[in-house]
Amino acid sequence: YEELACCNVCGEGDWEEDNKIIFCDSCDLAVHQVCYGAGARVIPEGDAPWFCDMCKFSKRAGGSSRRVEQECILCPEKGGAMKRTTDGRWAHITCALWVPNAQFLDAEGRDVIHPFAIHEDRLKLVCTICDKRMGACIQC
């Protein structure tokens, strides 16, 4: 199972010793350590669990061991590899990498997404794929 896993951020399945694909012990999200950034650089020793940011947040917010799926503020998709935004919402790491002017406060750690530099006209566009006006559409 682990040998066939692909990273939820980059979509690749290859890994190296210093950039393994790791799995959230709550929701089984698979990510490369470098692709996920902060929170995944150091893998817990022994049998200690590793949790993605969303599962950590779900546990703190409600004490539940079940992940609460949040909407991405940049696209209509739920779930996947997400990080908190500066205003307390959630966005996919991939969306923040692709949407112009979305920024990480910690660029190397890919942590805390700051969406407020995104031009407001981008938020009014209709997606050519899903035909929804939601989030920040990417144009050719």
Domain definitions of the chain by residue range: 2-62
- Three-state DSSP at 84 gives strand
Q: Any residues with CB less than 8 A from the CB of 41 and at least 6 apart, and which?
A: 33, 34, 109
How many whole angstroms from its chain centre is CA 117?
19
The pTM assigned to this predicted structure is 0.84
pLDDT at 65 over 70: no
Superfamily classification of domain 2-62: Zinc/RING finger domain, C3HC4 (zinc finger) (3.30.40.10)
Q: Annotate 30-92 with DSSP letters as a single string.
A: EEEHHHH-TTTSSPPSTT-----HHHHHHHHHH--SS----BBSSSS-BSSSEEEBTTS-EEE
User: What's the pLDDT band for 90 if we cut at 50, 70, 90?
Assistant: very high
Amino acid (1-letter code) at residue 122? R
Our measurement of the distance from residue 30's CA atom to the centroid of its chain's CA atoms, rounded to an integer in Å, reads 11
Q: Which residues contact 59 (CB under 8 A, 6 or more apart)?
A: 26, 51, 65
Summarised one tens digit per residue, pLDDT across range 100-114 is 899 999 988 899 999
